[in-house]
Amino acid sequence: MVQRWRERITLTDLLMWVIGGSILALIIWGSTATLSSGRYTSHHWFDFLIFGLAQGSIYALIAMGYTMVYGILRMINFAHSEVFMSGPYTAYFVAAFFYSTGFLDRHPLISLAVIFIVSMAISTLIAVLLERIAYRPLRNAPRLVPLITAIGASFFLQYTFRGLYGSGFQAYPVVKSLEGQWDMGDFRILKFQAVVIIAAALLMGALYLFVQRTRVGKAIRAVSEDKEVSWLMGINIDRMIVTTFVIGGMAAGAAGVLYALMFKQVHFFMGFIPGIKAFTAAVLGGIGNIPGAMLGGIFLGLVESIGPSLFLDGLGIVAPYQLKDAIAFILLVLVLIFRPTGLLGERLAVKKA
């Protein structure tokens, strides 16, 4: 018995378990130290929780695009972060116009609707163009080729938008009716955070129903299951792939506006970090799996907002909030090592797709 175990466990496995175990130990130690020091009250934790939920639902929306494209094409759409950036950046000009004419304050609902529609339209346009120009000709190329193309397209788009709209930060106009907070007994929720959470939840629900319940959604799932067979069944594969990009683009465009409402600025580089985070979320949930992406996004948002204070503060680390991105990436690497299938999903990291 012992003999067999010794044969099966290699040195690298052992080393990885040591790394994982020590990180886990650090997390537990840090958390207990933080909690016992009592530096944060329950109000703090509640604020972190809500912020994490809002942040996480934005990640979840972007992650849908990653996960669906991966499901259908087996490639990481690295330029999805630019799909996410292009929409709100373009819609900024609409928002600024509404703001300067006072329309935004008089009819906040109509203006927000227009901003959402513009942002989603532009993001969808970019996603579809991307598919048509950069990815379609390479559908049967070796694996690295489309990935490199996607990286190239990502930088091309970033700097095209920089050239078009300028390189500075643009401050998104503030919607007055979304300022302030709601009090719920002892706790408070900032209005815009609540709006972000609700809007994202509605959108995700709608997209999920679309994919699960409609004919087109069923066809998309069929194509991601097996391209050839679904082609034989009379499904137009090209159209389904484009539809996937459209859905991903719409989700990313909406997520972009929510992101802009939350952080109140847009920038040509704003897509990069949320893009990687959303990919992390997709992997966390199990790539190719839509509910997984939603769950992963929210989980990542929570870890990011609660993690620095909970794990790191107790370890006596100065300014732990600076390290929140590092926490997200470490989480990504840990998931890839110990559970490449993600929380809910099939094993794809090792599978040769």
Partner 1 sequence: MKKSIWQNGIKIGLIGGIVAILLALIGMVEAFNQRDIISNVVSMGHTLLFLVVLFLGYLAAKRTGRIRPFLGFFNSLTSGLIMGSFVALLVLGGSVIRLRAVFINASPALYQLLTFNQGVERGILILLLGGAVMGGIAGLFYIIPTLLRRVLIVSVGSVLGVGVLQDLLRPTFALWGPLAVINEWLFATNGLTLHGAISLFILMASGTLFWAKRGKSIQASWQGLSLKKQQAMRITSIIFLLILLLLLPQILGLFLSEVLTIVGLYVLLGLGLNIVVGYAGLLDLGYVAFFAIGAYAMALFTSPELGFLNFTFWGALPFAIILGVISGVLLGIPVLKMRGDYLAIATLGFGEIIRILVLSDFLRPWLGGAQGVGKIPKPLVGTVELATPQEIYYLILAGCFLVAFISWRLRESRLGRAWMALREDEDVAQAMGINLVATKLLAFATGAAFSALSGAIFATKLGSVYPHSFNVMISINILCLIIVGGMGSIPGVIVGSIALVGLPELLREFADYRLLVYGAALVAMMLLRPEGLWPEAVRRRELHEAEDLE
* In the complex, least distance from residue 123 CB atom to partner 1, rounded to whole angstroms: 17
- Give the nearer residue to partner 1 in terms of CB position, either 157 or 195: 157
* CB nearer to partner 1: pick between 325 and 346: 325
Between residues 16 and 216, which has the closer beta carbon with respect to partner 1?
A: 16
Contacts with 6 (C-beta within 8 Å, 6 or more apart), sequence order: none
Residue 132 Cβ vs partner 1, minimum distance, rounded to whole Å: 12
CB of 347 to partner 1, least distance (A): 11
The nearest distance, CB 218 to partner 1, in angstroms, is 26
Instruction: Give the number of other CB atoms < 10 A from CB of residue 123.
Output: 33
Q: CB-wise, 166 or 205, nearer to partner 1?
A: 166
Name the minimum Å distance from CB 92 to partner 1.
Answer: 9
DSSP per residue, 91-152: HHHHHHHHHHHTHHHH-HHHHHHHHHHHHHHHHHHHHHHHIIIIIGGGTTS-THHHHHHHHH
Q: How far apart are CA 20 and CA 15, in angstroms?
A: 9
Comparing CB distances to partner 1, the nearer of 179 and 346 is: 346
Chain residues that interact with partner 1, rule: CB under 8 A: 10, 12, 15-16, 19, 75-76, 93, 133-134, 137-138, 141-149, 151-160, 162-166, 272, 276, 279-280, 283, 317-320, 322-323, 325-326, 329-330, 332-333, 336-337, 340, 349-350, 352
Closest CA to 75 of 165, 6, 163, 139: 139
CA–CA separation, 307 vs 299, rounded Å?
Answer: 11
Nearest approach in angstroms of CB 162 to partner 1 is: 8
- Phi and psi based region of residue 317 (left: phi greater than 0; alpha: psi -120 to 50; beta: remaining): beta
Nearer to partner 1 by Cβ, of 109 and 350: the residue is 350
